[in-house]
Amino acid sequence: MTTRALVLFSGGQDSTTCLAWALARYDHVETIGFQYGQRHSVELDCRATILEELRAMSPTWDKRLGEDHLLDLSLLGQVSDTALTQNKAIEFQKNGLPNTFVPGRNLLFFTFAATIAYRRDLKVLVGGMCETDYSGYPDCRDNTLKALQVALSLGLEASLVIETPLMWLDKADTWRMAKDLGGDALVRMVEECTHTCYIGDHTTRHAWGYGCGECPACELRRVGHRNFLAIAVGDQA
């Protein structure tokens, strides 16, 4: 039986690693991205390059990689008042969540992904959410996504599986996963081609990739990369 998956692919480190994970695992893999009025479109601009690079890396991956879907969810940007969709400083809100949290974002992303998956007979939805090393967003948590898997499967009357291969990994583990899946070539590609920074800085190049180096997303990526390299050196010793 052909296994068919749809990966939520933003062009960031996590979703790129998940895409490689899916390409190593499923016979046919499609990708979906969303424009929702992000302040900057750097991440989305990275997507096409990353897809090309992944195709060039492996004939098997090239054969498995199918259609890319880009959905316009600008309505989400219009109705949410956050530091990702409005020009405002990143800070913590009274409820302890940073104002980069876009309420309902992952719930909507998976729901629209399920609509596409239903039409295209894709049985597995893959997302790069993680509750180990993250900004505390409640819609990244395992229980949220398990509940959503049940809701979508019931609501569509079609069994859908939501896979989140990074859920229990820290950022160093995520770099390690890229290395396991595609060796140094994939690690280099993730460093060079993916974008994580909340501010949208894609001019300053660090060892871990492009970014402002200050925002919470850059901080997680920087520390994870440093720890990954430290562990890799330890392995060789």
Would you say 218 and 197 are in contact if contact means Cβ atoms under 8 Å apart?
Answer: yes
Q: What is the rounded distance in angstroms from the CA atom of residue 111 to the CA atom of residue 147?
A: 12
Would you say 137 and 16 are in contact if contact means Cβ atoms under 8 Å apart?
Answer: no
Of 164 and 196, nearer to Zn ion (C-beta) is 196
Among residues 218, 221, 222, 225, which is the contact residue for Zn ion, using CB under 5 A? 218
108 binding Zn ion? (CB under 5 A): no
Of 28 and 222, nearer to Zn ion (C-beta) is 222
212 binding Zn ion? (CB under 5 A): yes
Number of residues interacting with Zn ion: please give it, by CB under 5 A: 6
Specify the amino acid at residue 23.
L
Among residues 197, 208, 222, 225, which is the contact residue for Zn ion, using CB under 5 A? 197
156 binding Zn ion? (CB under 5 A): no
* 69 beta partners: 32
Q: How far is CA 199 from the centre of its chain?
A: 17
Q: What is the rounded distance in angstroms from the CA atom of residue 87 to the CA atom of residue 1?
A: 48
Q: Which stretch binds Zn ion (CB under 5 A): 100-108, 130-138, 182-190, 192-200?
A: 192-200
Residues at the contact surface with Zn ion, assessed by CB under 5 A = 197, 199, 211-212, 215, 218
